Amino acid sequence: MVTLEQLLREKFGYDSFRKGQREIIEDILRGYDVLAMLPTGGGKSLCYQLPAYVLKGSVLIISPLVSLMEDQVQQLRQRGEKRVIAFNSFLETEVKRKAIERLHEFRFIYVSPEMLQSERLLHALMNIRISLFVVDEAHCISQWGYDFRPDFLKLGEIRKHLGSPTCLALTATAPPEVTDDIVHILQLQPLRRHIHSVDRPNIAIKVEKTEFIHEKINKLFDYVKMLQGPGLVYFSSRQWAETTARQLQREGIERVAYYHGGMDSEQRMLVQQQFLRGQLDIVCCTSAFGMGVNKENIRFVIHFHMPGQMEAYLQEIGRAGRDGKRSIAILLYTNGDEDMVQSLMETELPTDAQVKRLCESLLLYGAAPDSLEQQMSACSLTDVQKRILMYFLETEGIASSPRPLTEQEVAALYEKLIEKIESRRRWKRKKLLEMVKWIFHHSCRRELIVRAFQQSLEKKPDLCCDRCGFPLDGYLRVETEKKEFHFHGWQAELKRIFF
Amino acid sequence: MKSGYASFLMLFCLHRFNGERSLSAIYHLFSGKKSSQTLQDSKWFQLERFFGTWKEATLNDIEALAEQLLENGLISPVQNRSYVLTEEGRRQFNEQMRQAFFPVHLNGWRYHASEKWFWYRLSLLVQTLSNVLHRTRFEPIHRHEETFIWVKQYLLSQRKMARELAQTLYEEIYDILSSVSEEEATVFTLRLTSFERIGWTNEQIASLLQKDPVYVHFQFQNVLHYMMATAEAKQPSVLYELMHDLSLPIPLTFSTRKTYEWLLRGKSIEEIAKLRRLKRSTIEDHVVEIAANIPQFSIWPFVSEKKAEKIMETVRKLRTRKLKVIRDAIADDVSYFEIRLVLAKEGKMW
Ligand SMILES: Nc1ncnc2c1ncn2[C@@H]1O[C@H](COP(=O)(O)OP(=O)(O)OP(=O)(O)O)[C@@H](O)[C@H]1O
Ligand SMILES: [Mg+2]
Ligand SMILES: [Zn+2]
């Protein structure tokens, strides 16, 4: 029999397991349901990719982001794995149709949660042997989790439909109330928990405060010029990411681009690839560039705007130092930043007026599933707003009842919705407040981070945080020779492409 | 100037619309919305080339552009969200028309639905060949399963060697780029991904050429459509093989197509309305859309030649497309439907 180490070497080309991987894999192979919390970049993907070569049947992976899924598929293919497929849009093409017919041939089946509403796909899945049911970024399942996705809530039911195959839930950022939700919703049992420290010891942490915004901008320019790249700079809005990228270019920093959800997918892909290939040093981005992005040598992550909560912060700085080498995370703070974050957060929640309009519309048209979507659009709700309202309607048992609603019912519903939105608002404020407290915290920042996840720090690294004190020297740019691109006219370039 | 080219395009559209359509019509035109109204509009006002050629533009962008033109005194409002060019606007517009780049090959009407897939295939094929010839590993530049599989199968079905195929493709691209401007050829080449260079974004190319990204976008589209048109005319070629199975449909909305099928089977408007449980006016909309898009479709079952003659006369005299004005001017009993039908069929502006 081959040992796990042999498989690791043979299929993945690694010499040894990273912390936690072996134990997680062994428990899966023993048939336990596993909840695994490993830090960002800790190697969670391997925890289901390796068992796929031991278990009989297909591994089903549910992943929240299309781009993330595509990256994973690409990485597997790169390793020579051919038996991998991803379902992430309702567009039924010839290719997908055929794939569904021979679904059992695939070793890895990636699916977005909304695709699991497709009867055909679900049916096909029921007819094959699923050896492992993986929920990646499992914190999305909990309404108290970072980036809550109501679609994930149905996963418990779906798993049952598939005959309750062994389940692996993966996350990097889940405080206890969220892990409890995950266990409960997925009905993990018999369960083994593998909870590791959220800490990333190779990332030094620094917070810097300025009084005025222009000081902050200058600070950013200084750091970007001074620090060893490649690096990411996070902004809270698309507008900011774009303008700053352009400003940086004007400052003479050439290899900068921006990335956000408002760009068309090809341009986004180009920027991501350029960054991965080292054609770019710096990407100014929004949170759209994040979860799952796996470039091993990112040396710094700067937050120009603070995120709304600790989990988001941890996810975003977690892009740095995935090769295990020394990296740095700097958060720039200007007085009043939290107000902007707060107002951005508010816009993610439906307003009273919108809820009112929706309720009036429901009274008129009822809440049949297909019309509900339309009615929501008519109330000019954004996707994020729709998502949360849909969830509330579902928990109230309204979402799929085709019968008309009475006036009293609608009135009661309105009250309920307002109340729920209000409680969500309070929760978001609490999370933001936690973040602000962290910024103004007087002792070790790393300790406070792990405490937010109700863990304690086992060992403090030498290069810890600005409170513990550390020198910047090791993070400064050492002039390395860059592959400069010289453009000698299109004829020469076209020739170069082919010959 | 950041929004230079977009402003020029706005002026162009507003000039053609002549105050008779609102800003959202421009938005729908660029985004390629398949509604009867948009399809007809682009014909009537001769803006077909722009149909669906700037899908990233948002209504907000369009409104902001109009706001800016308004501030600069180049346009003035006529009614709810419609504008006409001012004296100064006209002057600047004419000047730009003489000097600025105009996408003469752009044919959104024909290629809006297929251009993206053609480009995906072409650029992935180029990337693949480039890497194969240089013996380098690579990640496909598009995460689009269908394209990926298509290119793979295309390569497998080739009897030619990779080097030979590359040579042919190189020559075809070279020929086409040689017959467009230096700048356009540069834009197109830089968008391609090779073994050593990931393709550049419009923004990056813009900063190299010191132009704005919208300008670059339209230069690129212009070359792409020229390439597709050339490929259609010159078969066989590798470029044509990349597009031959992409459908180039008549742009009819789904619902209209259904109505068209019934009409072909000899049903009347009244009957179709009953059959489809739609309002008569909806079916009339469909008929107008069909008239605007299918050259061989005859409008005579729906309007008499005498009336049509009269309508056209009035249109020419008053130089307007406003239905109400036309109807008021014709004393006789003509319906809006009849007027729209004639206008749709005539297509051309005046
Ligand atoms: N045992 C190992 N030895 C060496 N490298 C490994 C090992 N396991 C995983 N890696 C590498 O570590 C990197 C991060 O892995 P992965 O993407 O699975 O992280 P993750 O835990 O999912 O992080 P995130 O929470 O950010 O998604 C990958 O490049 C992967 O190939
Ligand atoms: Mg991951
Ligand atoms: Zn510390």
Mean pLDDT by 10 residues, chain A (499 residues): 91 95 97 97 96 96 87 89 87 78 95 88 95 96 89 92 96 95 95 97 97 96 96 95 95 92 90 94 92 85 96 95 96 95 91 92 79 82 88 81 80 94 94 96 96 94 96 90 80 95
Across B192-218, b (16+ Cβ under 10 Å) vs e yields: bbbbebbbbbbbbbbbeeebbbbbbbb
Predicted local confidence at residue A401, as pLDDT: 67
CA distance A414 to chain B (A): 31
Locate the ligand 1 atom nearest the alpha carbon of residue A17 and give its number: 1
Number of domains in chain B: 3
Whole-Å CA distances, A266 to A237, A259, A378, B50, B193: 20, 11, 30, 20, 12
pLDDT at A453: 95
The predicted structure's pLDDT at residue A481: 64
The reply to whether B233 and B119 lie within a common domain is yes
**Coil, helix or strand for A61?**
strand
**pLDDT mean over B218-230:** 97
**B283 has pLDDT over 70:** yes
Nearest to A270 among B130, B169, B201 (CB): B201
Q: Is A198 in the pocket of ligand 1 (CB under 6 A)?
A: no
* Residue indicated by tokens 């957060």: A345
**Tokens in use for A353?**
């007026």
Last residue of a domain, one of B40, B73, B100: B100
Sign of CA dihedral A364, A370, A374, A377: positive
CA of A447, nearest ligand number: 3
| Final residue before a domain boundary, out of B74, B100, B126 | B100
Contact A282, A265 (CB under 8 A): no
- Ligand at shortest distance from the CA of A36: 1
As a whole number of angstroms, the distance between CA A265 and CA A402 comes to 37
DSSP-assigned letter for residue A458: S
Q: Which pLDDT value is given to residue A376?
A: 86
Does residue B337 share a domain with residue B281? yes
The whole domain housing B56 covers 4-100
Whether A42 lines ligand 1, by a CB cut-off of 6 Å, is yes
Cα(A460) to centroid of ligand 3, in Å?
A: 7
Pick the residue whose CA is nearest to atom 6 on ligand 1: A43
Q: Are residues B139 and B207 in the same domain?
A: yes
Among residues A279, A309, A267, the alpha carbon closest in space to that of A289 is found at A267
- Over pLDDT 70: what percentage of chain B? 96
| B139 and B54 belong to one structural domain | no
pLDDT in tens, B50-72: 999 999 899 999 999 999 999 99
The residue whose CB lies within 8 Å of the most ligand 1 atoms, and thus the one to mutate among A22, A44, A45, is: A45
> Within this chain, do residues B239 and B311 fall inside the same structural domain, yes or no?
no
Complex-level ipTM:
0.85
Tens digit of each residue's pLDDT (9 = 90 or more) over B119-157: 999 999 999 999 999 999 898 999 888 898 899 999 999
Which H or E element spans position A195?
Answer: strand A191-195
3-state secondary structure of A392: helix
DSSP for B16-34 reads: HHTTSS-HHHHHHHHHT--
The answer on B282 and B225 residing in a single domain is: no
3-state secondary structure of A82: coil
Q: Is B96 on the interface with A (CB under 8 A)?
A: no
Q: B83 and B146: one domain? A: no
| Residues B189 and B258 placed together within one structural domain of the fold | no
- Check pocket membership of A318 for ligand 1, CB cut-off 6 A: yes
Q: A269 and B145: CB-CB below 8 Å?
A: no
In this predicted model, which residue has the larger pLDDT, B199 or B256?
Answer: B199
Q: What does the block give as tokens for B65?
A: 């552009």
What's the gap in Å between the CA of B13 and the closest CA on chain A? Answer: 24
One domain for residues B128 and B210: yes
Which of B146, B186, B194 lies nearest to residue A490, judging by beta carbons?
Answer: B186
Residue A135's φ and ψ, nearest 5 degrees, are: -115, 105
d(CA B219, CA B221): 6
What pLDDT is recorded for position A197?
96
Using the structure block, give the residue that is written with the tokens 């729709």. A386
Residues B230 and B277 in one domain: no
Residues in Cβ contact with B212 at an 8 Å cutoff, skipping those fewer than 6 apart:
B1, B2, B3, B4, B5, B6, B206
Atom of ligand 1 at shortest distance to CA of A47? 18
Residue with tokens 């199975």: B245
Residue A132 alpha carbon to ligand 2 centre in Å:
17
Does the residue B78 lie in any domain? yes
Identify from B149, B198, B210, B245 which residue to disrupt to test chain A contact, counting A C-beta atoms within 10 A and taking the largest count: B198
* Residue A390: per-residue pLDDT: 87
Q: Is residue B68 domain-resident?
A: yes
B174–A498 C-beta distance less than 8 A: no
Q: Which of B69, B100, B131 is the last residue of a domain?
A: B100
**CB nearest B141 (choices: A94, A269, A498):** A269
Q: Are residues B27 and B84 in the same domain?
A: yes
Tokens encoding A225: 């010029």
pTM: 0.85
Cα gap A94→A96, rounded to integer Å: 6
**Residue at B135 is within a domain:** yes
The pLDDT of residue A56 is: 94
CB-based contacts of A91, cutoff 8 Å, min separation 6: none
pLDDT at B301: 86
Q: Which of these, A340, A314, A333, lies nearest to A441 by C-alpha position?
A: A333
Cβ contact, residue pair B149, A489, below 8 Å: no
Please tell me the predicted confidence (pLDDT) of residue B26. Answer: 95
Whether residue B106 is contained in a domain is answered as no
Test mutation, A251, A269, A275, A484, chain B, max B CBs within 10 A: A269
- Summarised one tens digit per residue, pLDDT across range B264-281 is 888 889 999 998 888 999
Domain presence at residue B109: no
A490 contacts in chain B (CB < 8 Å): 177, 182, 185-186, 188-190
Contact A267 B139 (CB under 8 A): no
pLDDT of B80 reads: 75
Specify whether the CB–CB gap between A254 and A246 falls below 8 A: no
B183 lies in some domain = yes
CA–centroid distance, B225 to ligand 1, in Å, is 43
Residues belonging to chain A with any Cβ–Cβ distance to chain B shorter than 8 Å: 67, 70, 74, 78, 86, 93-96, 249, 257-258, 263-267, 269-271, 273-274, 276-277, 279, 485, 487, 489-491, 493-499
Whether B65 is in a domain gets the answer yes
Our mutation pick for probing the ligand 1 site, out of A5, A46, A301, counting the most ligand atoms within 8 A of Cβ, is A46
State residue A333's pLDDT score. Answer: 98
Cross-chain CB nearest to B142 (options A67, A249, A269): A269
Strands B75-79 and B82-85, by their bridges, are antiparallel
In a domain, B110, yes or no: no
At residue B315, the pLDDT reads 84
Q: State how far the Cα of A449 lies from the Cα of A462, in Å rounded to an integer.
A: 17
d(C-alpha A193, C-alpha A37), whole Å: 8
Q: Do A93 and B146 touch (CB under 8 A)?
A: yes
**Radius of gyration over alpha carbons of chain A, in Å?**
24
Least confident among A154-158, B35-39, B164-168, B302-306: B35-39
B2: pLDDT confidence band, cut at 50, 70 and 90? very low
Of all ligands present, the nearest one to the C-alpha of A20 is: 1
Closest chain B CA to residue A255: B204
Cβ proximity of A216 and A304 under 8 Å: yes
- The pLDDT of residue B3: 57
